[in-house]
Structure formats: C-alpha cells, structure tokens
Structure 1
C-alpha cells in the first residue's frame, strides 16, 4: 500500500476527472457551481465521472453558498440518491450562526452515510473555535479528513495553524488527516511536507486558464512531482 501524500483535485465533469487522473491525482472532489465554492453535483455528473475514472471520488454535500446547513432533509435525500448511484465518500461541514459546528445537521447527514469516509471541509476555517469543533466531531463515524487552509484567508495566513495542528496529530480530535487547500501554492509544499502533512487539495491551481477552462494534466503532474519531492 502506497504511503505517498494524497493529491486531491476538484472535478466539475468527466473531462476534468480524466485529466486529473492522468496527471497523478489520487482522489477527486466532485462538485458543481464553483462560484458558490462548490455545491452538490447532479447525480448524473457523479455517475459520468465515476464511469470515466477509477480513482477515489469524494462528493460534496452542500446546497447553498456559505456554511449553514439549510434544508437538512434535502441534503439527506441528496446523500441517499448519490449513495444509490455508487458514491462511497463525501465532503460536508456546517456551522451555526455563532461559528460553532452545527452538530445536529452534521450528525443527521452522517447517519445517512452509514460509516462512509468523509471530509469536514473548510467550514473549520470559519469556526469560532477550531479546537472545540474538532472535539465535538471526534468519534463521528467515517470522519477521516479535515480540508483546511488554517485560516479563512488562505494558506499564507494559516500556515502557523496548520503546522501546530500537524504537530498534534494523534491526540483526541486530531487523528484525522489534514488535507491542505485554499490558496495553496507550490512554494508552500516543502514546508508542509517537512511538518509531516500528507494531504494536498487543489482547484484553480489545476486550471491554467481559470475556472472557465478545464483541468490541465500537466498542471496536476507538476503538483504530483512537487508533493512526491521530485
């Protein structure tokens, strides 16, 4: 089993997925509506991507821009439909109006996932208390990853937080992998690797022509080489 660092790439369609896999991505985050920072994709988009590639897919469960859960039962139905279509990994994360984790919403949706692996996404970067959020989520079935920049404003500002949290890995609430994403650049990679961080998430960085253009196999391959220390 490979122990190399994980490279996750955002995919909006099957073309993105094929290019990302060819470039060396280990996993895709499947979303739609990137203008809203990524929402739940149509089931047909997921099935097209699933048919096109054989790497892991994590599917977003998020209906509206922002970090409120909104209509939880709609999210539950979306999760149910995606699971029926073959989805086995997910991405979610919700805050209440005070910046605390919306535990009721998260638990309701996680119950529908029946132990499937999932990532708590960058809502953690908007939390009033990151440590408290982690402690509240500790022990939820399937939670194996936090997608975070360490700061709401990106990795440049969040680097000290990322390094501090990496040093706590293994403590209660800190067993999960840190998947670093949000303003991540290639020049951040060496110091993150040196701190033992082993997960990297890119979106726009995989698209030289911006979000209106496709994922570039060459761009993903450049990240793969950097993450592998080549």
Structure 2
C-alpha cells in the first residue's frame, strides 16, 4: 500500500479544479454555496470540472444548510441525475433531531448510488455518539471515508478524538478511512501522520484570498509538499 497521503481539496468551479490538480490534489470535493457549508453543485458545474481535470471527484449530496436531510426525494433525484451524468463518487451525511444518524435518508440515497464509493461528512462531528453512528453505518455499501475534525469546533478541539480513532482501525465501524478536515492547519500534520492518518481535506486553506477568491495552486503545493515530506 502506498504511503502517499490523500489530499482532497474543495472545488467550486473548473478554475478551482485545475489549480487544485496542478498543486497536487489527489481528489476534489465538489460543492456550491459555502455560505451554507456546501451544497450539491449543478450538473453543468460537474460537467465542466469533469472535462477540465483527470482526478477523482466526490459530489456533495446536500440540499440545505444544517445536518437534517430535508426532502429525501430531492436528494435521491440529484443523486440519480449526477450518476446519469457520470458521477462515480459522493459525499453525504444526515442526522435526526436527536443527533443520531438518519438511516432512512442515508439508506435511500446509498441505494441510488448502487455501490459507488462515498464519504460520510462532518455530520459525524455533530453526532450524539460517534461510536454508535459508526456501528450503525458499518455495513453500508460504498462507505469508505469519514470526513471529520474530531469535534464540531474543528481540529484544534478534536485532536485527541482523531488520534484515538486513528488507532481503532481494527474495530467494527472503524474500517473506513479517516479524512481529517475542518480547521486543519499545516502544523497539525505531524501528529496526525504519526498516528497513521493518511487522508486530509482542505477548503479555505487552499484559498489565500478567502472563499471569494479561487483555489491557489501554490497553496495546494505547500500542503502536498508537507504531506510528502
């Protein structure tokens, strides 16, 4: 198994995607509307990005801000349309009002994905019980990654949780890869890498001018170098 860490970068459009790939990103998370923490992009945006780059694309399936699924029919239809357009990897995650995984929503959407790989995103950081959530999802087809900061407040607050979970990969529900993201900074990398974390996710860190500006290839390259070093 290669020891090269996976670097995933958020892309809002083809310009972002090209810069991220040039900087050494292994994968892109495609979203729109970061003011709402990332919603499903348009089919047109997906098509433009897919034509512009050659690295894997994970499509966010989320219709509204927050971690409730909302109208599951809308999400299923978006998943179906993205699949028909050629999308092969996805990102999703929904909680019920009590902070438990919304299995009805997840199961319906995952059935539509038909075995495609997918990430359960940072909804895990708002879960009432992370371990129970993982066990509930343990046999879900296609689930290969948890995107997490260890805490709803970000990596600074979640570091101890992340380090502990990285050591649990042999336990039921911990087989999916941990991808750390959410307030991640370069200085966090040594401890996480030493604990065995092999996947990292950046959004704002790839954009020196903030979310109004594009992904900067040089910023991504700095992360690539730090991970490879």
TM-score calculated relative to the size of structure 1: 0.99
Q: Which residue of structure 1 aligns with residue 54 of structure 2?
A: 54
Instruction: Tell me how many residue pairs correspond in the alignment.
Output: 229
Cα distance in 2, alignment partners of residues 20 and 170 from structure 1: 33
In structure 2, C-alpha distance between the alignment counterparts of 1:29 and 1:138, rounded to whole Å: 23
Question: What SS is found at the alignment partner of 1:160?
Answer: helix
**The residue matched to 1:25 in structure 2 has which SS?**
coil
- CA–CA separation in structure 1 for the residues paired with 2:190 and 2:56: 25
Q: Give the secondary structure class of the aligned counterpart of 2:144.
A: strand
3-state SS of paired residue (2:119): strand
Query: 2:16 aligned with 1:16, yes or no?
Result: yes
Matched, 1:203 2:221: no
| Shift in CA distance, 167/2, structure 1 to aligned 2, threshold 3 Å | closer
CA root-mean-square deviation: 0.7
Alignment-derived partner of residue 158 in structure 1: 158
Structure 1 segments, 4+ long, off by >2 Å, are none
SS at 1:223 equivalent: helix
Cα shift readout 1:144-200 (whole Å, capped 9, x = no counterpart): 000000000000000000000000012110001000000000000011000000000
Question: Tell me, what secondary structure is at the counterpart of 1:78?
Answer: helix
- Alpha-carbon shift at residue 228 of structure 1 (Å): 1.1
Give the Cα separation in 2 of the matches to 1:216 and 1:181: 18
TM-score, normalising length from structure 2? 0.99
1:116 aligns with 2:143: no
Structure 1: unaligned runs, 5 residues or longer? none
1:2 positional shift = 4.0
Gaps of 5+ in 2: none
